[in-house]
Amino acid sequence: MEGFTRAQIDQAESNDFALGAGPKRPRDAATLILLDRRGSDICVLMGRRHMKHAFMPGKFVFPGGRTDPNDSRIGVATPLDPAEEIKLIGTGSRATAARARAIALSAIRETYEEAGLLIGRKGPFTTNKADWQGFVEHGIQPSLAGLRFVARAITPPGRVRRFDTRFLSVWKDEVALELEDGGPTHELEELVWLPIKDAKEADIPSITRTVLGDLESRLKVDPELTPGGEVPFYRLRRDRFERNII
């Protein structure tokens, strides 16, 4: 997608996003790519969105959603790796450690809500936040140490929803508990583990395919995903889709 014009992006994503009139400011969002080694393959967890959704209806996606700033106040068993925190903080007037923490914790919360996977460490955990009561009930302390920032993408203008999405990844070993009935929201109709090569051929948004390609390339040279690695950043500027490195 790098180098595409806005018209080419609109055409490529015509089946991914509902168009909307007027400029919309992108909202912070976080998505989590769970990785699992199975034989010679590295698999990723994906789920299908309901057809009634305005944003990416019927597409296979990673668990994720809009960032809740209040998530920055949730206690954790382990913090973000310092190199990853620096990458997530980035630059700009709104660049803070609290914002980076909220993004990371939102990815963990959404993964619990949509997929029923609780990432963290077993141990007593308390909070009055309603969205985190699953961690309280099951005695799981959220953990951020295993998260890696692997990509960032801003939805182009002209969509009914726009997000500034940070793609994070984590190995399945970091999952402390997997609920048999899935997450409480049941937002994803179908959950599947797919080898990366097969996931790229599934019914996924164009940007997801691009991010998977980047992740696949990084894993070949950095199979453990060393903290602080290069992060591709995709956005539309001057009518061209750019790829920069954070």
Whole-number average pLDDT of the chain:
88
> What's the CA gap between 31 and 176, in Å, rounded?
19
pLDDT of residue 14: 47
The angle, 0 to 180 degrees and rounded to 10, between the axes of the packed helices 82-89 and 97-115 is 100
Does position 224 have pLDDT exceeding 50, yes or no? yes
| Tokens found for residue 181 | 């009935």
Does position 103 have pLDDT exceeding 70, yes or no? yes
Indicate the pLDDT class of residue 240, thresholds 50, 70 and 90. confident
| Tokens found for residue 139 | 């005695």
pLDDT, one tens digit per residue, over 55-78 is: 555 689 999 999 999 999 999 999
Query: Whose CA is closest to 109, among 81, 84, 57, 73?
Result: 73
pLDDT, one tens digit per residue, over 127-146 is: 999 999 999 999 999 999 99
Architecture of domain 6-245: Alpha-Beta Complex (3.90)
Does position 231 have pLDDT exceeding 50, yes or no? yes
Helices (H), 71-96: 82-89
Q: Where are the beta strands (DSSP E) in the chain?
A: 27-38, 41-49, 60-61, 64-66, 117-122, 140-142, 148-154, 163-171, 175-178, 188-195, 232-237, 240-245
> What's the CA gap between 168 and 84, in Å, rounded?
10
Helices (H), the chain: 6-12, 82-89, 97-115, 133-138, 196-199, 206-221
Does position 1 have pLDDT exceeding 70, yes or no? no
**Domain extent listing, the chain:** 6-245
